[in-house]
């Protein structure tokens, strides 16, 4: 957690916070100065150094009393700007430092320097810029610094989505940019309100000064809504599926695994630090309800996708919803917001999603490169032709289901424990359903990949082994995250970490897989090898009803991804959050 009072001096090891931002930015400038020919070399020189800085920060944090501070210009807040790092910052910086080099290794064969192409040079500079912007978000100590870092993240991500220059990808990038800018306007308006009320934007100072007056509640509602738009929480997911549809696999891995975590991290800072004493109980349940809807909505639409990449994109929408269940669960029975197991579970789920989803997008990219398409019904036999890619997808999916010893399993246990302690049993149902719904689209893809092909598969080109290995490493990281000593950095309650290799691990795998198989049969409209003809005839009426429900959900999704509906949803979410906070006060 952040220090209880503003620090008057830089702490030992505080310079690591500056290095974590300066190093990627210096890499961008150096690559620009040296030219396209050396840009990839610069990136691969910077990345081991960035990983070393992240490791040093993780090791230095316990010795610094759980927080590190660096005062820019030696001026303490509110006159100066401070960089802060606590356990949440450390684990997010470490996760970013693992995912970005893995994606870089995967992307290296595709984005080789070429005399006639600017996309490779742009990719490597944008990748470093995203890394620097994310680190600035994770260590930013005041709300305006976070705004600047968030905008840098947006402007680095937009061109990454449209690297190929095709009309549809440019349209998707512009859609992302415009909606993200709407979110930025709301966030900046809230920041200006807080500065006018309290004369400070430092998070620690605001946590001590902010009270439940009308201006503060309006600012909190505006800032939260703006950040939800950038995170693509349902129903504010206008930009997410189109951005993934045509982006390179490496760009999708970064966008889904890391970029949406930047705005999520600021939401966590806003609620658990600045707004900790404000009346947010009812508003937090709205966030939880939106998250629960996203889990069901995203999973159903994912099961109806014809393309593997779009299936994973809608899976991201569902998993983002899973992250927001931490907010209502963080309130205890007396209505006070606590930095306990719910917060730890939400952050662990975010890290697990970052590694697993990046690996799944990379695996999908390898399958597309090998087959020349990613149609799910055309994947029959790909497990034999591209075993490492399919294994990576499977391990990433199993990790997201919450099977021990994955990080998602530990996160789920912490959230379930929080639900029991706060007597909010209804969230338990959603937490358990989340694993089953995740298993449904993972089982659907694997059923096709493992089925015998109708005709021999002729790969369009050989996928470099290093690409598959980079993706596999990330999937294994997600699957083994539950074995890490998280209690040193996250507020995990006593007894919150169960044995990740216990006897219940088998049941945590079998039950979601069995339930997911049933859902895949009922909700997927495409012919698949999961059901025998006799079984299909028996469940035909139920399947027709489920398919009708799926068509309805997909039609709602088509409406919500239109500008009028998305803009109205943005306004309604802001009004609802502000009204509930005001009523609570």
Enumerate helices (H) and strands (E) in the chain, giving the number of each: 24, 2
Q: b vs e for 138-169, b when ≥16 Cβ sit within 10 Å of the residue's Cβ?
A: bbbbbbbbbbebbbbbbebbbbbbbbeeeeeb
- pLDDT recorded at residue 37: 85
Same domain, 342 and 408: yes
| Cis peptide bond upstream of 78, omega within 30 | yes
Q: Compute CA distances 464 → 367, 378, 386, whole Å.
A: 12, 22, 11
How many domains would you assign to the chain?
A: 2
Query: At residue 162, what are phi and psi to the nearest 5 degrees?
Result: -115, 35
- Whether 457 and 382 have beta carbons less than 8 Å apart is answered as yes
Same domain, 118 and 147: no
DSSP string, 457-473: ---SSPPPHHHHHHHHH
Rounded (10°) angle between helices 563-584 and 167-198: 20
Same domain, 130 and 22: yes
Same domain, 107 and 222: no
Q: Regarding beta strands 68-72 and 81-85, do their DSSP bridges make them parallel or antiparallel, or are they unpaired? A: antiparallel
Same domain, 246 and 304: yes
Domain limit, last residue, from 138, 170, 194: 138
Averaged pLDDT, groups of 10, the chain, 585 residues long: 65 91 95 88 94 94 85 84 91 96 93 69 93 96 94 93 85 92 95 93 89 91 96 93 88 93 95 85 93 95 93 94 94 79 94 95 94 89 92 94 89 92 89 91 92 82 88 94 88 65 67 88 76 65 89 94 94 94 82
- Whether 81 and 69 have beta carbons less than 8 Å apart is answered as no
- Whether 392 and 355 have beta carbons less than 8 Å apart is answered as no
Query: d(Cα 251, Cα 90) in Å, to the nearest integer?
Result: 24
* CA dihedral (67, 68, 74, 80) positive or negative: negative
Q: Residue 493 gets which letter from DSSP? A: P
* Mean pLDDT, the chain, integer: 89
Query: At residue 490, what are phi and psi to the nearest 5 degrees?
Result: -115, 150
Query: d(Cα 132, Cα 98) in Å, to the nearest integer?
Result: 14
Residues ≥6 apart with Cβ < 8 Å to 312: 244, 252, 256, 302, 357, 360, 361, 364
SS3 of residue 422 by DSSP: coil
* CA dihedral (420, 425, 426, 430) positive or negative: positive
3-state secondary structure 68-128: EEEEECCCCCCCCEEEEECHHHHHHHHHHHHHHHHHHHHHCCCCCCCCCCCHHHHHHHHHH
Q: Residue 142 gets which letter from DSSP? A: B
Same domain, 147 and 129: no
Same domain, 61 and 201: no
Same domain, 292 and 427: yes
Domain limit, last residue, from 117, 138, 159: 138
Residue 81 β-bridge partners: 72
Q: Which of 113, 112, 107, 164 is nearest to 130 (CA)?
A: 107
Query: d(Cα 468, Cα 464) in Å, to the nearest integer?
Result: 7
Q: Compute CA distances 205 → 136, 198, 202, 289, 293, whole Å.
A: 19, 9, 5, 31, 35
CB atoms within 10 A of CB 23: 19
- Whether 498 and 405 have beta carbons less than 8 Å apart is answered as no
- pLDDT recorded at residue 1: 59
Q: Compute CA distances 129 → 29, 51, 266, 331, whole Å.
A: 10, 15, 18, 36
- pLDDT recorded at residue 539: 76
- Whether 338 and 489 have beta carbons less than 8 Å apart is answered as no
Q: Count of residues for the chain?
A: 585
Q: Which of 42, 19, 203 is nearest to 93 (CA)?
A: 19
| Cis peptide bond upstream of 405, omega within 30 | yes
Query: d(Cα 227, Cα 182) in Å, to the nearest integer?
Result: 10
Query: At residue 202, what are phi and psi to the nearest 5 degrees?
Result: -65, 135
DSSP string, 305-368: -SBHHHHHHHHHHHHHHHHTTHHHHTB-TTS-B--SHHHHHHHHHHHHHHHHHHHHHHHHHHHH
> Is the backbone of residue 13 left (phi > 0), alpha (psi -120 to 50) or beta?
left
Query: d(Cα 216, Cα 341) in Å, to the nearest integer?
Result: 27
- In 3-state terms, the chain is what percent helix, strand and coil (to 5)? 75, 5, 25
Query: d(Cα 475, Cα 470) in Å, to the nearest integer?
Result: 9
Same domain, 278 and 370: yes
Domain boundaries, position 18: 1-138
- pLDDT recorded at residue 275: 85
Domain limit, last residue, from 115, 138, 161: 138
Same domain, 236 and 132: no
Same domain, 385 and 512: yes
Same domain, 184 and 149: yes
- pLDDT recorded at residue 478: 94
Query: At residue 84, what are phi and psi to the nearest 5 degrees?
Result: -120, 150
């Amino acid at each position: 957690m952040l220090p209880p009072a503003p620090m008057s001096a830089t702490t030992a090891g505080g310079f690591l916070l500056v290095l974590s931002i300066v190093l990627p930015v210096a890499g961008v400038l150096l690559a620009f100065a040296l030219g396209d020919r050396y840009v990839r070399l610069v990136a691969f020189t910077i990345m081991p150094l960035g990983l070393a800085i992240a490791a040093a920060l993780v090791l230095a944090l316990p010795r610094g009393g759980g927080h590190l501070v660096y005062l820019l210009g030696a001026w303490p807040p509110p006159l100066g700007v401070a960089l802060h790092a606590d356990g949440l910052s450390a684990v997010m910086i470490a996760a970013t430092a693992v995912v970005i080099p893995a994606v870089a290794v995967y992307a290296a064969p595709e984005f080789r320097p070429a005399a006639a192409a600017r996309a490779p040079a742009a990719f490597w500079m944008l990748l470093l810029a995203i890394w620097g912007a994310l680190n600035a978000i994770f260590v930013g100590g005041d709300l305006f610094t976070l705004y600047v870092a968030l905008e840098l993240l947006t402007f680095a991500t937009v061109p990454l989505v449209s690297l190929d220059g095709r009309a549809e990808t440019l349209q998707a990038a512009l859609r992302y940019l415009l909606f993200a800018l709407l979110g930025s306007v709301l966030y900046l308006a809230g920041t200006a309100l807080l500065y006018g009320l309290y004369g400070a934007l430092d998070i620690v100072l605001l946590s001590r000064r902010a009270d439940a007056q009308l201006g503060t509640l309006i600012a909190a509602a505006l800032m939260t809504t703006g950040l939800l738009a950038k995170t693509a929480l349902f129903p504010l997911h206008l930009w997410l599926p189109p951005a993934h549809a045509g982006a390179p696999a490496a760009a999708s891995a970064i966008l889904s695994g890391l970029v949406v975590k930047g705005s999520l991290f600021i939401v966590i800072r806003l609620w658990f630090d600045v707004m900790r004493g404000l009346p947010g109980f009812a508003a937090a349940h709205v966030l939880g309800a939106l998250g629960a809807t996203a889990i069901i909505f995203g999973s159903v639409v994912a099961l109806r996708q014809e393309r593997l990449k779009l299936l994973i994109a809608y899976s991201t929408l569902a998993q983002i919803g899973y992250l927001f269940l931490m907010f209502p669960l963080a309130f205890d029975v007396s209505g006070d917001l606590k930095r306990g197991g719910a917060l730890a579970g939400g952050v662990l789920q975010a890290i697990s999603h970052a590694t697993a989803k990046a690996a799944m997008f990379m695996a999908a990219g390898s399958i597309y490169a090998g087959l020349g398409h990613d149609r799910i019904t055309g994947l029959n036999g790909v497990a034999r032709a591209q075993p490492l890619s399919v294994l990576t997808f499977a391990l990433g999916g199993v990790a997201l289901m919450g099977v021990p010893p994955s990080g998602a399993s530990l996160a789920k246990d912490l959230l379930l424990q929080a639900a029991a302690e706060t007597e909010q049993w209804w969230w338990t149902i959603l937490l358990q359903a989340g694993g089953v719904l995740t298993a449904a689209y993972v089982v659907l893809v694997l059923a096709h990949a493992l089925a015998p092909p109708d005709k021999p598969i002729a790969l369009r080109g050989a996928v470099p082994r290093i690409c598959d290995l980079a993706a596999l490493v990330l999937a294994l990281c997600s699957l083994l995250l539950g074995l890490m000593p998280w209690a040193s950095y996250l507020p995990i309650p006593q007894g919150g970490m169960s044995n990740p290799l216990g006897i219940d691990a088998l049941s945590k795998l079998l039950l979601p897989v069995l339930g997911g198989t049933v859902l895949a049969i009922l909700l997927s409209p495409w012919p698949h090898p999961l059901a025998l003809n006799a079984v299909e005839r028996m469940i035909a009426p139920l399947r027709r009803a489920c398919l009708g429900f799926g068509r309805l959900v997909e039609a709602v999704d088509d409406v919500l991804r239109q500008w009028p509906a998305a803009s109205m949803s943005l306004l309604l979410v802001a009004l609802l959050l502000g009204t509930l906070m005001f009523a609570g006060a």
